[in-house]
Amino acid sequence: MHAALPFGIAGGFLLVLGFLLLYFLGTEPVGMVLNFGYVATPLFVFAGIKQFRDKHNGGELYFSQGMSVGFFVYTLMALISAFFIWVFMVFQPEVFEVFKASNIALLEQKRALLTEQLGEQSFEETYVNIQAMSVFDVALNDFLRKIIPGLFFTIIISIILKRTLTP
């Protein structure tokens, strides 16, 4: 999908740039880039599908075509972002430790609410899971947080941009 490639790559590198910008500003970049992906993904999926429809497919777009283009866009974005985060954290382990510590602190801060809603056992399991979290887990989480919303956004955008030309 040559129409999807530039948008997937550009979107992935925008996520990388956002991560680096937050890192150099002294902000915890992992959590913020996860949220930034919720904004960037639909924009790049929309642009990729629209570009395909208008420039490569003569103004026509079937739902399945939109889904295919969108899939390539959000998957490329997710792969680039997750791979970068994994490599970055391998070479800058203090970023991983800060992310892990902030998750533990947030969990402790919400302890009363979480134990009331989910029970003490669920809280303890979550705490143990965060303690055991690895760099790969963070990268996989980033990947999944781009893929799952990407699918949702692609369905909606493909429906909105769907256009068939009648002879």
> What pLDDT score was predicted for residue 167?
62
> What pLDDT score was predicted for residue 1?
67
- pTM beyond 0.85: the answer is yes
> What pLDDT score was predicted for residue 33?
85
Choose among 28, 150, 23: nearest CA to 79. Answer: 150
> What pLDDT score was predicted for residue 128?
92
Each residue's pLDDT tens digit, 60-86 = 999 999 999 999 999 999 999 999 999
- With 0-12 CB in 10 A as exposed, 13-18 as middle and 19+ as buried, what is 107? middle
- Residue written as tokens 């970023």? 95
Does residue 138 have a pLDDT over 80? Answer: yes
Each residue's pLDDT tens digit, 84-118 = 999 999 999 999 999 999 999 988 898 888 888 88
